[in-house]
Amino acid sequence: MFSSLILNIIAFSTAALVIVIAGSQLARRADTLADRTGLGEALFGVLLLAGVTSLPDFAATLSAAIDARPDLAMSNVMGSMAANLLFLGVADVVYRKANLEHAAASPINLILAGLLIVLLTMPLLAIITPKVNQWSIHPITPVIVATYLFGLHLVHRTRIKPMWFPRLTHQTVADKPNKQHRGRSSSVWVGFIGMAIATGIAGWVLMEAAKGIADQTGLSETLVGGLLTALATSTPELVTTIVAIRIGALTLAVSNIFGTNCFNMLVVAAADVGYAHGSIYHDMAPVQMIWGLVSILMTAILLMGLVRRETYGIGRIGFESALILSVYAVALVVVVVST
C-alpha cells in the first residue's frame, strides 16, 4: 500500500495512535451506555464493546488472510489474544486498591473465561487433525461460530439467573448503574459508532503498513504479526480497560478482555473463510500454536484467580497477574528465538 519503509512506519504509527485515542473514548461511552441500556457493564462489555475493540484485529487479520499471508494473519489474532490477557495483569498493577480479579468478581466473567478456553482449543485441534476442507473451509470453523453463539446464550442465562454469587467484601466493586449516566443516549451512540468505525479503518491501515514493513525489512511475518501488529491492534483493549478502571467500571474492564478474546475466535473463523487456498490452520507455521497454548494457559491462571479472589498479593497484585506477566515474557522470548 505504501511505497517506502518510512511511509509504512509513519502509517503504522498514525494508525496505532488513532486506535489509542478512539479506545479511550470507547470506554467512557461504553460505561454510560451500559447503564442507560440496562445491560450492565458485564453484558455490554461482552456484546458490544468486545466486538468494537476487536475491529482492528478483524480488519487486520482478514486483510492478511485475503492476501494469502496465513502466518501474518494468525500470528496477529493469536498474538492479540495473549496480549489482551497480558493487559489484565497490567490493569491489576494500575488498580492499587485491591486485586482486580477480587474487586471485579462476577459470574459472567467466570463463564467467559471457561468459554474462551473451549474456543481456544478448537483451532489447535484443527492443526493436528487431517487436512479436510469443504469449500476451502475447515469443518472446525463453523463449529467455532456455533460454540461462540451458544456461549453468548449461556452468558445471557447466567445474567438472568446466576447460580453463583461472589462473596461481597469491602474491596468488591459491584456493577451498579450510575445515576449520573441518565439522559438521552442518541449522542452517546453516535460517538460510540464513530469511534468504532475509526478503529476498524485504523486496523486495516495498520495491517497494510505491517505487510510493507515485513516485506521491506525481511522480518518474519510471524514476528511482525505476533509482536508489532498484535500489540498495536490490541491497544483498544488496553486503553479501554485502563480507562474503565479509572472511572470505576471494573466489571466492564474484565469482561471487555474476556469478551474480546471470545469474539476474536470469530476473527479466526473469518480468516479461514477469507483464505482462498484451503484451510488456514494447516498452512500457517507450527510456531503459531505457541500463542494459542499460551493464551489457554494464561486464561486458566486468570480463571483460578477469579475463583480464589486473593485480596492482596506481592506488590498488591494477585498471584494470577504475576504469573501471566511471567508467562507472556517467557513466551515472547520463545517466539523471537523460534523465528
Per residue in 241-279, pLDDT tens? 887 787 777 777 788 888 889 999 999 999 999 998 888
Q: Rounded to two decimals, what is the model's pTM?
A: 0.82
Cβ proximity of 142 and 272 under 8 Å: no
Confidence (pLDDT) at 71? 84
Confidence (pLDDT) at 180? 54
Cβ proximity of 116 and 262 under 8 Å: yes
User: Among 333, 329, 123, 79, which residue's Cα sits nearest to residue 225?
Assistant: 79
The upper half-sphere exposure of residue 116, i.e. CA atoms within 13 Å in the direction of its Cβ, equals: 34
Domains (ranges, CATH) in the chain? 5-338 (1.20.1420.30)
CA gap 110, 101 in Å, rounded:
10
pLDDT per residue as tens, the chain (339 positions): 556 788 888 888 888 888 778 877 776 777 777 777 766 666 776 777 777 778 778 887 888 889 888 888 888 888 888 988 998 888 888 887 777 777 777 888 889 899 999 999 999 888 888 777 667 788 999 999 999 999 988 988 887 887 777 777 767 666 555 555 555 667 888 888 888 888 778 877 876 787 777 777 777 767 776 777 777 777 777 777 887 787 777 777 788 888 889 999 999 999 999 998 888 888 887 777 888 899 999 999 989 888 887 777 777 777 888 899 999 999 888 887 876
User: Among 337, 339, 335, which residue's Cα sits nearest to residue 79?
Assistant: 335
The helix (run of H) or strand (run of E) holding residue 333 is: helix 319-338
